[in-house]
Structure 1
């Protein structure tokens, strides 16, 4: 394994107040635009004159692009420098948003969403920059703030969509993403220094990149389209089979090549492997809960005898406490990590998610129930997302930080795709049977209340499993570093996870 090129002892670290705002805004710009289209997919289908099944490609294409590009950008950041790759990642967000603003074509809008998926690289690159650039005592808080910003931005995206649509059309959402990304680029250029840690002895792995893209594409398309095609259809099962075979080939390639895209030995370390499992489960819960809660609140109460007949804006406001909870979780998570390591906040994150979803399964008749559950769930997501990079950074060398955190981000995305597909299948599989005269007036099928309860309980169980997984990671107390030079690139918290 090649050693990272470390800064000299005399190198002056920039203050967190200079670097962090640029990185946090970059993370917010991506996460806001990723989820902003979720509550308006039905109206976009009417606007663009496409079917309800085809409109979901606006989310599928974005998730697929992010899943493929995130680890690639993270690895190239390790090899060629994090700041240039961060600018390329944000550049994809700018190009995608600009194209979405300029076009009225559904096909080009899908291309725009693919370009926006490049923004997924912001998370691993920003975490690596914080680890490289900030003073040691500031790293834990900085990483927690950036990672929790994913949950904050996702919640804010739902609210921003409602606010913008009150006054303008759907293109205003992409204008928002364009402006935010341009501001983020300007701040990154001015405030983020050239990073000192690059893997100069590493190399590219084109075959590994192609096979990684292949199995992720097959898996995410199968998961995202399974509801439409049928989970036992030839297309769905065929894509799952392709994903399994190509993933096996990818694993063999990564073990054999001299400079792998992903070091499989690194991925097999308990601290990395079990953290990635938690990431997949928490991603399932976060994306799935947004879908279920948003749909539940927008259900017409007079027809279904549940829900709040909420507008898109009202539904977003009901989910706003999730963003507030994730915002609060960043400093709390950093404090807990600094005192006892990342296990406690990761466990609490899963527990809070489980309790909030179980609460909604039992109590859902008032808006106060949704506010409470959304806030608690957001707090849990923020704590979990703050803890995951701390676990990973404590187990991998600095020159592998980008790809390690990139793969964790990929698994969060995969978990989100699985969560929305599974919970969507539950909701569409148990719908209200209206009398013929009413059914003729109802444009969409409405899930039964029991379907929503089942979705809440399943999400609660998944989050509970995520709370148990961290106990499989052994944590030991880290000894004090021998010299200031080594300290600057060490793990960002006082505990070290076992390899």
Structure 2
């Protein structure tokens, strides 16, 4: 495909892939307004109902790297269409569910479709002109955050004023719309790793190791951090992932090329991604609770779920606004500079929270600042990854980076949840997370953002100066940039 053809098609491609990422994020936040009501809706216990959320995380963690590798092997457009199928099917299953088992199955199917974002980012390298690449990567990468920020108030409004099943029927329509747009607007490009063998054993090993790790992280507070189950899960993850790593470096066509992943530019970007994911999710866990806690606590603001979602919605809008600016910043100064800037903005937002957490307006400002930083950081990380890897590994590498972000959000949820559960106050015979607990959680978010900045600062620059510190040009012939070892 020549440059004029790529330019003509790029507008529809970028819009479609950004919409696909936004829909995928909405799928994740869809059940948030229903959390308190799920046991009653599904006629089950709160612990069983919690699996409605946990299963999506587990399935997406396993499927995202697999989808990425298959995208490199059989074509990214084809895998985007494949990912849309379980999104539609899962939404329909959830809409029809009347008990916990089919709901868990449906949510698991939705998790299978989360590979759309890394596949979309990798596809941009193939079809978008070089002058639009940085801004388009930034927008599509940030679409997960945009969808989360905008999806929460929409889902809350639907849940409050309509039957809860409408949420899932609406999700099915959105997923079907995404698949239609992909079919008509996304071009097919040659698969960079066509003809290579799929690493089934590597996929199974990574899946088992990740499920054990994420179960321990996400359910440890319920099971007890010192319980035999939690410790056993952590031990299983360490053993299985270590064996998986040995297999990956020895097999001819690995699921994840760990030698490429070990390159300093890729390695430190992935490490920073874990901390950025933590920093993003900490605010999403704390701010809604502060907004909704009773005013009688002295620090809660007494907002409804819908109102809380509306106060947080400007954060998603800011991410949408900032993303194109992040692409321009990457073109001017390189993705490393953009990543450092983003995480420092996140840190500034957490710093402001100590003074502004006493009002809804203040928390809205905090959310807008943190979301702006996330938009910059999320757009820079794929650009850093793709500037250091072969074209044949773009989808797999972006899938692995997405996995690192998800791991960060899981760890963030566990850490912040533990802090809030341990630092409590009692009012009317009911225990609430205390004001000091919330302040501590926000300070942890600040510290994690500063750690992310420190990690990003040691990412090696591309040889030849900052001018080359940008995403690789979208041509199939482009070799990976030389990096400092």
| TM-score > 0.5, shorter chain as reference | yes
Residue from 358, 363, 366 that aligns with 2:356:
363
Residue from 101, 110, 117 that aligns with 2:104:
110
1:491 Cα shift?
7.3
- Contact kept, 8 Å, 2:6 with 2:129, in 1: the verdict is no
Residue 299 of structure 2 aligns with which residue? 306
1:288-437, aligned counterparts within 5 Å? Answer: 288-302=282-296, 304-434=297-427
Residue 16 of structure 2 aligns with which residue? 22
Residue 142 of structure 2 aligns with which residue? 148
Please say if 1:488 is aligned against 2:449: no
Please say if 1:285 is aligned against 2:285: no
Residue from 463, 478, 483 that aligns with 2:449:
463
Q: Which moved more, 1:472-481 or 1:58-67?
A: 472-481
- Contact kept, 8 Å, 2:97 with 2:103, in 1: the verdict is yes
User: Per-residue displacement from partner, 1:280-310 (whole Å, max 9, x unpaired)?
Assistant: 11111222221111111110112x1211111
Go from structure 1 to structure 2 and tell me whether the alpha carbon gap of 1:32 and 1:478 turns closer, same or farther (over 3 Å shift): farther
The runs of 5 or more residues in structure 1 that have no matched partner are: 1-6
How far, CA to CA, are the matches of 2:155 and 2:5 in structure 1?
44
- Contact kept, 8 Å, 1:288 with 1:419, in 2: the verdict is yes
- Contact kept, 8 Å, 1:135 with 1:488, in 2: the verdict is no
1:103 Cα shift?
1.1
- Contact kept, 8 Å, 2:34 with 2:159, in 1: the verdict is no
Secondary structure in 2 matching 1:199: coil
- Contact kept, 8 Å, 2:43 with 2:99, in 1: the verdict is no
- Contact kept, 8 Å, 2:72 with 2:396, in 1: the verdict is yes
How far, CA to CA, are the matches of 1:123 and 1:478 in structure 2?
31
Q: Which moved more, 1:75-84 or 1:201-210?
A: 201-210
1:216 Cα shift?
0.3
How far, CA to CA, are the matches of 2:442 and 2:474 in structure 1?
45
- Contact kept, 8 Å, 1:36 with 1:161, in 2: the verdict is yes
Residue from 400, 424, 433 that aligns with 1:447:
433
- Contact kept, 8 Å, 1:39 with 1:294, in 2: the verdict is no
- Contact kept, 8 Å, 2:86 with 2:110, in 1: the verdict is yes
Secondary structure in 1 matching 2:462: strand
Secondary structure in 2 matching 1:433: strand
How far, CA to CA, are the matches of 1:213 and 1:64 in structure 2?
9
Please say if 1:186 is aligned against 2:180: yes
Equivalenced residues, count? 481
Please say if 1:34 is aligned against 2:21: no
The runs of 5 or more residues in structure 2 that have no matched partner are: none
- Contact kept, 8 Å, 1:278 with 1:469, in 2: the verdict is yes
- Contact kept, 8 Å, 2:38 with 2:46, in 1: the verdict is no
